[in-house]
A and B are shown apart, each in its own frame.
Chain A
């Protein structure tokens, strides 16, 4: 297995990858004792490990990683972050973002390990919640089906690591029309350096169901593991899902998150990617609009400040008739931060009447900040409607002068303009409590937040 066939041009495995492999082999040896070797999940996870060994971890030479160099992460090995939190969770500013108490339903995940009421499964207002660890034992084929297909694409490489190495996770099955948003509070915490967590979430919405699920990533303690999270959403026919992933971690935190969406016939998925913090936040979204009438409405709100780095890759693939995708991204960079937004729409043959829009606007607030955006289109079908636009600039001097000439101080005027710039994403949020919590966190990062709060 160590000597799995390497492609001719494969780079030598990085120290991180060698450590992942060793970890996988150790685990594989334990699992062999259970004589479950041949179950489809184990086979799939083995394939995932083999594949990433063959392809290597992505480097700056890979297309979607051009702006995000992970050399500092791959030059050493990792060990798994602990299963439980050291001590009691302290409510912090970031924890109150999507407040544990503000919304009724919260599931806690610590380094990818769910903390469920009775340790096995729970039922919540039309959402069945099961631990992936348990489900892997009772129904490995179901889990495997949601982890497939494995992808060779460079943006999916860390998701392969997650597939091979996740220890536990959440399986949510939405069975009804659920009004109350469900919050998955992901807490990252480490006991020392070079630890990693691989949180895994699978969300399946049965036909006709609807729900709002908010994945909120925060951290605790002085050490932070690298968080390599992956979520898969399978939206059944006529289902409606609103999914949020919110990254509000501190300057030292590093996060790689992979999201895949498979959208069924006439399903609607509103997706919000909100990056408000973290020293390094890299997110990917790959949506497969594989049945007629599927609709993806994806919003990205990317805020870089200080010396932070935010890299967001969105790929929407239309593979059925009359599918729609809309991507709205707003990026703001201040300080010496860098924000990268790559979006791509692929319209496959057979996806007639596909309709796609990509709108990306960047706002630079400092001369040392950088925003890179790249909207791309790949069309293999006729009769499609695809539009894209990307602009990056500074605050409009005419708008600024207008506000100054009315007596507003410069900080307030700038903050209001920044806030207005983000309005397109904020107004798309249909859960008032989530919107207000995200606005709180967003405003807290803008200059003159006290003044801004008065005008909300």
Chain B
């Protein structure tokens, strides 16, 4: 589904990604872990199409098409979703408006008619219930005045409504208490499907107790240094990142 080959990128003249290789197949859940400043968020933003990041080398294909040639909105409509680490507040733009516009943009791109207003409201209410969100959400501005946890739940809610083929969740677990973490994990797991894939970017193993990944990668210094299964995450939790970096240096 997603194939990243030797991807390099820089921001403000600084090389952040230095040759990332990663392949994600349909039905899989991947976790990308790594220390602060290793390039995890940059990778997520580059994949979502943020133009502040300049791709300096390599290629990315998404379902066979050249992802880097698409604008951010085209990537979204093709089925890619980024759950932001710091979701922005947009006062004055209603949550429901945004979601409806997003869903309709996707449907239009797929040649489908616009969603019926009543059906849409029913859908969003059902998903809100799943995410334990209060009805007041419907009348508020996008993330306006939301707590950190509410913002993250809103990201997952948007993901559930848009049903992306590939969801990249950038530290969706950070800042969540244990109850919120369970709710968010349940949301992500509900999207698990042989035709979809999820990439979790996280610092902590904690999330991976609730969303069990098929593959775990360590990103450090702009490269994937080590890949493994879930046991790698547990080992990282126990030993930290240093040994991976040392091991790589030795190799």
Residues in chain A within 8 A of chain B (CB atoms): 396-399, 401-410, 412-413, 416-417, 419-424, 451, 455
Contact = CB atoms under 8 A, between A and B. Distances in A.
A406 B90 contact: no
B206 to A, nearest CB: 26
Interface of B: 48-50, 52, 71-73, 75-77, 81-82, 84, 87-88, 90-94, 97-102, 105-106, 109, 141-142, 158, 162
Contacts of A409: 73, 105
Contact of B162 (A399, A401, A407): A407
A421 B141 CA distance: 12
A326 B91 CA distance: 21
A406 B102 contact: yes
B102 A407 contact: yes
A402 B88 CA distance: 7
Contacts of B90: 399, 402-403, 417, 420
B93 A407 contact: no
Contacts of B106: 407
B92 A406 contact: no
18 contacts: A396-B88, A399-B90, A401-B50, A402-B87, A403-B93, A404-B76, A405-B48, A405-B75, A406-B76, A407-B73, A407-B101, A408-B98, A416-B101, A419-B92, A420-B93, A421-B92, A422-B92, A423-B91
A359 to B, nearest CB: 14
Contacts of B87: 402
Contacts of B82: 405
Contact of A404 (B73, B81, B97): B73
Contact of B88 (A399, A419, A420, A423): A399
Contacts, number: 80
Contacts of B91: 420, 423
Nearest to B45: A401
A107 B49 CA distance: 55
A424 B75 CA distance: 33
A268 B1 CA distance: 63
A422 B92 CA distance: 8
B72 A404 contact: yes
B92 to A, nearest CB: 3
B101 A408 contact: yes
B163 to A, nearest CB: 12
A444 to B, nearest CB: 19
Contacts of B72: 401, 404-405
A417 B105 contact: no
Contact of A423 (B71, B81, B92, B142): B92
Contact of A420 (B81, B141, B158): B141
A451 B108 CA distance: 13
Contacts of B102: 406-408
Contacts of B48: 405
Contacts of A410: 73
Contacts of B98: 403, 406, 408, 416
A398 B92 CA distance: 15
Contact of A402 (B52, B84, B97): B84
B92 A404 contact: no
A396 to B, nearest CB: 7
A186 B18 CA distance: 66
A422 B91 CA distance: 11
Given A416-B93, A420-B93, A407 B88 contact: no
Given A402-B84, A406-B101, A419-B92, 8 more contacts: A399-B88, A404-B72, A406-B98, A406-B102, A408-B102, A416-B93, A420-B90, A451-B101
Contact of B158 (A406, A423, A451, A455): A406
A413 B162 CA distance: 17
With most chain B CB atoms within 10 A of its CB, the pick from A404, A409, A412 is A404
A290 B7 CA distance: 68
Contact of A405 (B76, B92, B94, B142): B76
A417 B76 CA distance: 19
A417 B142 CA distance: 11
With most chain A CB atoms within 10 A of its CB, the pick from B52, B90, B100 is B90
Contacts of A419: 92-93
Nearest to A416: B93
A442 B197 CA distance: 43
B76 A407 contact: yes
B92 A420 contact: yes
Contacts of A404: 49, 71-73, 76
B121 to A, nearest CB: 14
A421 B84 CA distance: 23
A405 B83 CA distance: 9
Contacts of B158: 406
B215 to A, nearest CB: 24
A404 B90 CA distance: 13
A406 B48 CA distance: 10
Contacts of A407: 73, 76-77, 101-102, 105-106, 109, 162
Contacts of A401: 50, 72
B131 to A, nearest CB: 17
Contact of A455 (B49, B100, B141): B100
Nearest to A418: B92
